[in-house]
Structure 1
Amino acid sequence: MAVTAISIDHIARIEGHGNVRLVIEDGQVLTCQMEVVEPARLFESMVVGRPFEEVPYVASRICGICSSSHVVTDLRAIEAALGVSVTDRTAALRELLVYGSFLQNHATHLFVFSAPDFLGHRSVFPLADENPALFDRALALKALGNELCTAVGGRSVHPITAVTGGFTHELTAAEYRSLADKMDAMADFAVEAVDLFDGFEVPAIETAGDMLAMVAPGRYPVCDSDTARFVRAGYDFDCSQVEAEVEEYPVGRSAAFLARARRTGSPYLTAALARVNASWGALSQRARYAAAKAGLRPPELNPFMNNLAQAVELVDVLDRCAGLCRRLAEPDGFEGSSEPVAFEVRAGEGVGFTEAPRGALFHRLAIDADGRVARANILTPTAQNVANLEADMRLLAEKLVGEGRSEAAIRLEVEKLVRAYDPCLSCSVH
Structure 2
Amino acid sequence: MTKTSIQVDHIARVEGHGNVHVVIKDGAVETVEMNVVEPARLFESMVRGRSYSEVSYISSRICGICSASHVVTDLKAIERIFGVEPTERTRALRELLIYGSYLQNHATHLFVFAAPDFVGLPSVFPLAESDPALFEQALALKALGNELCTKVGGRSVHPITAVVGGFTHEIGAGEYLELADKMESMIPFVLKTVDLFDSFEVPDIATDGDMLAMVMEGYYPIECADTARFLKAGIEFDANDVDECIEEYAVPHSGALFARVRETGSPYMTAALARINASWAHLSSRAKVAAAKAGLRPPELNPFMNNVAQAVELVDALDRCAGICRKLAADEIPGSSSPVAFEVKAGRGVGFTEAPRGALFHDLTLDGKGRVVRASIMTPTAQNVANLEADMRLLAEKLAGEGRSEDAIRLEIEKLVRAYDPCLSCSVH
The two structures have a TM-score, normalised by structure 2, of: 1.00
Output the amino acid matched with 1:420: A
Give runs of aligned pairs for residues 161-176 of structure 1, distance below 5 A: 161-176=161-176
In the TM superposition, residue 284 of structure 1 has moved relative to its aligned partner by 0.2
- Give me the CA root mean square deviation: 0.5
Q: In the alignment, does 2:323 pair up with 1:323?
A: yes
- The residue aligned with 2:255 is 255
For residue 108 of structure 2, give the secondary structure of its aligned residue in structure 1. helix
For residue 212 of structure 1, give the secondary structure of its aligned residue in structure 2. strand
- The residue aligned with 2:413 is 414
For residue 208 of structure 2, give the secondary structure of its aligned residue in structure 1. coil
- The residue aligned with 2:343 is 344
User: Could you give the per-residue CA deviations for residues 79-100 of structure 1, whole angstroms, max 9, x where no partner exists?
Assistant: 0111111000000000000000
Between the aligned partners of 1:82 and 1:349, the Cα distance in structure 2 is: 9
Between the aligned partners of 1:208 and 1:386, the Cα distance in structure 2 is: 14
Between the aligned partners of 1:167 and 1:58, the Cα distance in structure 2 is: 18
Equivalent residues, number: 429
In the TM superposition, residue 175 of structure 1 has moved relative to its aligned partner by 0.4
- The residue aligned with 2:242 is 242
Output the amino acid matched with 1:61: R
Q: In the alignment, does 2:385 pair up with 1:386?
A: yes
In the TM superposition, residue 330 of structure 1 has moved relative to its aligned partner by 1.1
Between the aligned partners of 1:335 and 1:369, the Cα distance in structure 2 is: 32
Between the aligned partners of 1:395 and 1:140, the Cα distance in structure 2 is: 37
- The residue aligned with 1:308 is 308
Output the amino acid matched with 1:389: L
User: Could you give the per-residue CA deviations for residues 117-151 of structure 1, whole angstroms, max 9, x where no partner exists?
Assistant: 00000100010001000000000000000000000
- The residue aligned with 1:403 is 402
- Stretches of 4+ aligned residues off by more than 2 angstroms: none
The two structures have a TM-score, normalised by structure 1, of: 0.99
In the TM superposition, residue 68 of structure 1 has moved relative to its aligned partner by 0.2
For residue 30 of structure 2, give the secondary structure of its aligned residue in structure 1. strand
Between the aligned partners of 1:16 and 1:266, the Cα distance in structure 2 is: 26
Report percent identity of matched pairs.
73
- The residue aligned with 1:106 is 106
Between the aligned partners of 2:405 and 2:227, the Cα distance in structure 1 is: 44
Between the aligned partners of 1:262 and 1:81, the Cα distance in structure 2 is: 25
Between the aligned partners of 2:81 and 2:13, the Cα distance in structure 1 is: 38
Runs (5+) with no aligned partner, structure 2: none
- The residue aligned with 1:93 is 93
User: Could you give the per-residue CA deviations for residues 9-28 of structure 1, whole angstroms, max 9, x where no partner exists?
Assistant: 11000000000000010000
Runs (5+) with no aligned partner, structure 1: none
In the TM superposition, residue 235 of structure 1 has moved relative to its aligned partner by 2.0
In the TM superposition, residue 303 of structure 1 has moved relative to its aligned partner by 0.2
Between the aligned partners of 1:195 and 1:276, the Cα distance in structure 2 is: 17
Q: In the alignment, does 2:29 pair up with 1:19?
A: no
Between the aligned partners of 2:416 and 2:221, the Cα distance in structure 1 is: 26
Give runs of aligned pairs for residues 97-136 of structure 1, distance below 5 A: 97-136=97-136
Output the amino acid matched with 1:347: A
Give runs of aligned pairs for residues 103-252 of structure 1, distance below 5 A: 103-252=103-252
Between the aligned partners of 1:120 and 1:44, the Cα distance in structure 2 is: 41
In the TM superposition, residue 335 of structure 1 has moved relative to its aligned partner by 1.4
